[in-house]
Amino acid sequence: MLKIGNVELNHGLFLAPLAGVSDRAFRSVCRKFGAECTVSEMISAKGLHYNDTKTAILAAFSEDEAPFFVQIFGSDPEIMAESAKKLATNNYKACQNTCYPMGIDINMGCPVPKIAGNGDGSALMKNPKLAGEIVKAVSAVVDIPVTVKIRSGWDDEHINAVEVAKIVEENGAKAICVHGRTKAQMYRDPVNIDIIKSVKESVNIPVIANGGINTADDAKRMLEYTGCDGLMIARGAMGNPFLFEEITAYLEGRAYSVPNMEERMKVAMEHIRLMIDYKGEYTGVMEARKHLAWYIQGQKGAASAREKVNHASTLDDLEKIVNDYLRNF
């Protein structure tokens, strides 16, 4: 049982924040298949500060997603606090939410140059003092839990997750997610599970393990080795929201049978229709192309279907491709 604030999660199974992927449609689908909690795509604190319209779209949530965290990135404690307060109180123009986040998560892991080069995301791993100040400033203005997502460190010479974890705990963080890779590694293996274990042994708040959890076996091994309180799944869920159900069954000792292709495609189309509901047909279909490709990845006939998917521009196109694919599967 993982408890953060007043929310209790049985296994602490999270869908990770995934910019460009974990939008409200994907978050709803993953919740339906056993993700106990989700995290939004990272949202720019500066964007919220300037009431940017694109940012407003990222900060829109629906009740079927709850419980969820909203993740912000930035490095100015004041602006981070101000934007967190807007999100926590739903006081954000241009975004008519009917529900509230269960917590605010702070991004201290994003490695992309546009973010880290600005002193945001993973750059905060190089500045533990500022990381602490941000957590303190945000915690002072919101009533909901503040959590932090960190990496193992900046590079192999600077593995400082334990130091950062202790500082953010001292400054009010209520849970920490550790991605067991350095910034320099980006998303490449190996995942350093020893550092995740060390963080777990060094702090008194819940620790959530992240990195390389792609099967139920990976999940069990990660929990057993690190002693962590929860797990965060990222790329393993892309095109495979069923992974949450599989992990839950495995952890509970229940039998599980993987969905057949027809079932997978049914869920994929539900997912795509939700994307279109939220974003309109054109944007929905453009963004759905990659999701559909992930749903069929590694399956018979995937390469030629993907080629057709890349030329689809309407829902009808995608439905036809999926029906043809199933007929020939």
Ligand X SMILES: Cc1cc2nc3c(=O)[nH]c(=O)nc-3n(C[C@H](O)[C@H](O)[C@H](O)COP(=O)(O)O)c2cc1C
Name the residues that contact ligand X, by CB under 6 A.
16-21, 41-42, 71, 107, 109-110, 149, 179, 187, 210-213, 233-236
Cα–Cα nearest to 313, from 287, 294, 274, 279: 287
Helix axes 315-328, 261-279, angle to 10 degrees: 180
Quote the CA–CA distance of 159 and 125 in Å, as a whole number.
Answer: 9
Residue 110 falls in the annotated catalytic set:
yes
- In this structure, are residues 146 and 173 in contact, taking their beta carbons and an 8 Å threshold? yes
Between residues 47 and 109, which has the closer beta carbon with respect to ligand X? 109
Quote the CA–CA distance of 160 and 126 in Å, as a whole number.
Answer: 9
Could you tell me where the DSSP H helices lie in 15-74?
24-32, 45-49, 53-58
Between residues 247 and 322, which has the closer beta carbon with respect to ligand X? 247
Helix axes 315-328, 281-296, angle to 10 degrees: 20
Between residues 24 and 179, which has the closer beta carbon with respect to ligand X? 179
Measured from the CB of residue 176, what is the shortest distance to ligand X in angstroms?
A: 12
Three-state secondary structure along 209-259? Answer: EECCCCCHHHHHHHHHHHCCCEEEECHHHCCCCCHHHHHHHHHCCCCCCCC
Between residues 19 and 315, which has the closer beta carbon with respect to ligand X? 19
Query: Which residues are CB-neighbours of 259 under 8 A, at least 6 positions away?
Result: 242, 267
Angle, CA of 134, 138 and 141, to the nearest 5°: 150
Measured from the CB of residue 177, what is the shortest distance to ligand X in angstroms?
A: 8
Task: Count CA atoms closer than 13 A to 209's CA, side-chain side.
Answer: 28
Quote the CA–CA distance of 176 and 185 in Å, as a whole number.
Answer: 20
User: What are the angstrom distances between the C-alpha of 191 and each of 19, 116, 168, 324?
Assistant: 21, 20, 22, 39
Measured from the CB of residue 188, what is the shortest distance to ligand X in angstroms?
A: 10
Measured from the CB of residue 59, what is the shortest distance to ligand X in angstroms?
A: 13
Cα–Cα nearest to 267, from 9, 31, 11: 31
Measured from the CB of residue 237, what is the shortest distance to ligand X in angstroms?
A: 8
φ, ψ of residue 259 in degrees (nearest 5): -65, 145
Select which of 30, 37, 95, 110 is catalytic: 110
DSSP 69: E
Between residues 149 and 264, which has the closer beta carbon with respect to ligand X? 149
Measured from the CB of residue 320, what is the shortest distance to ligand X in angstroms?
A: 28
Between residues 149 and 325, which has the closer beta carbon with respect to ligand X? 149
Measured from the CB of residue 67, what is the shortest distance to ligand X in angstroms?
A: 18
| Catalytic residue annotation | 110
